[in-house]
Amino acid sequence: MPMEDQKPHHVVLFPYLAHGHFIPFLALAELIHRRYPTYTLTLVSTPLNVQNLLSSLPPTFPIRLRALPFSPSAHGLPSTAESTADIPFDLFINLFQASEALKPAFDQLIADIIQEEGRPSLCIIADHFLGWTVQVARKHGVFHSIFITGGTYGTAVYFSLWTHLPHALTTSDEFSLPDFPDTRIHRSRLAKNILVADGADSWSVFLQRQISLCSGTDAVLANTVEEFENTGLRMLRRIMGIPVRPIGPL
């Protein structure tokens, strides 16, 4: 057997701080364990989220949980706010921005895994809202994948809307997406935060940065099926320019 195949395999999963993102990441962890039972699986989050997961998951669940230090109050959040379930929508942007403060601790976690395990065959699978994890992967020379927890059509439209803000360039109620001219969007279907976005607001700055960083990943995993979302997958592959692999529905 080649020496490369004898390396331990370790997958680090990092969902965004929202219950709707934890659930598909846990399902993905179960899928990986069923197919590759010898792989070490680690899910990363903040202390209270890890505590909640420990109390809800069965003791035999095949995943290690690691907490990264996090101080919500340092980012204008209530002291116990570590997920979107803990705050009103108006504070969501604070949590999004605060997630970037986890980068140094996550970087150290990856360095520790490499040191402790003798540079394993390591893969980071991160949420698309955590595009900054691509930079950590590149620093340590490990494989990186973005995991799209929802549908690919919606994600492609979401990425295109936030990247170009086409509604801000017209007074018409209906407009096309620059990436997909055949896709028409009505202004009434936009959320309040994007309706008022101008490219310099906090939402635009954060999301455009994460979307741009996501394009540097090695691959994209999508919680969908090719036969269900052929159009959405084609759209997402087009704007990202990297492999998008449907692995769902999880």
Q: Give catalytic residues, as residue numbers.
A: 21, 127
CA distances from 99 to 15, 93, 162, 169, 201 (A): 11, 10, 19, 30, 17
The whole-angstrom separation of Cα 239 and Cα 180 is 9
Q: Which long-range contacts (CB under 8 A, 24 or more apart) does 208-214 make?
A: 208/162, 208/163, 209/131, 209/132, 210/128, 210/129, 210/130, 210/131, 210/132, 211/128, 211/131, 211/159, 211/162, 211/163, 212/131, 213/131, 213/132, 213/134, 213/135, 214/128, 214/131, 214/134, 214/146, 214/240
- The CB-side HSE value for 56 (13 A sphere, CA atoms) comes to 10
Closest by CA position to 126, among listed 219, 212, 52: 219
Token code pair at residue 137 = 């992967």
